[in-house]
Structure 1
Amino acid sequence: MNAQVGDQIVLEGTHLGDSRRIGVIVAVGHPDGSPPYEVRWRDSDRTTLIFPGPEAHITPSGVAAAPR
């Protein structure tokens, strides 16, 4: 998985009833765009460092995340 600053990251819930989380990548851990990523979450405006798993996908900047 590779991303750039400004891309969106979408985390799908892994359990029944889990909500989808969408955030904007504000920093990448490596020059090649590989994780970890610093993400500002839309639902809380908090910034966290994540190592995305298989439930995550990247949406390039300028493309809206598809509704569920």
Structure 2
Amino acid sequence: MHASKGDHLVVHGRTVGKQDHVVEIVEVLGPNGAPPYRVRAENGHETIMSPGPDSVVDHRKASDQA
């Protein structure tokens, strides 16, 4: 997995009825874009994540999604 600051991390819901969880990558802590990542949720909460196999990186920036 490779990400850059500003990318979005999408964690797919693992059970029926659970929505995907999308957070913004605000800092890449691993070498060459590798995890772990400091991420920020829509509510402003920040945490450090090492994403699992149910996660993908969306490389479109917020300005690209409009």
Output the TM-score relative to the length of structure 2.
0.83
Aligned-residue identity in percent: 33
Superposed counterparts of 1:17-56, under 5 Å: 17-42=17-42, 44-56=43-55
CA RMSD of aligned residues (A): 1.3
**Residue type of the alignment partner of 1:55:** D
Structure having the higher helix fraction is 2
Unaligned runs of 5+ in 1: none
SS where residue 26 of structure 2 aligns?
Answer: strand
Unaligned runs of 5+ in 2: none
SS where residue 15 of structure 1 aligns?
Answer: coil
Q: Distance in 1 between matches of 2:21 and 2:35?
A: 17
**Residue type of the alignment partner of 2:60:** S
- 1:8 aligned to 2:8? yes
Q: How many pairs were matched up?
A: 63
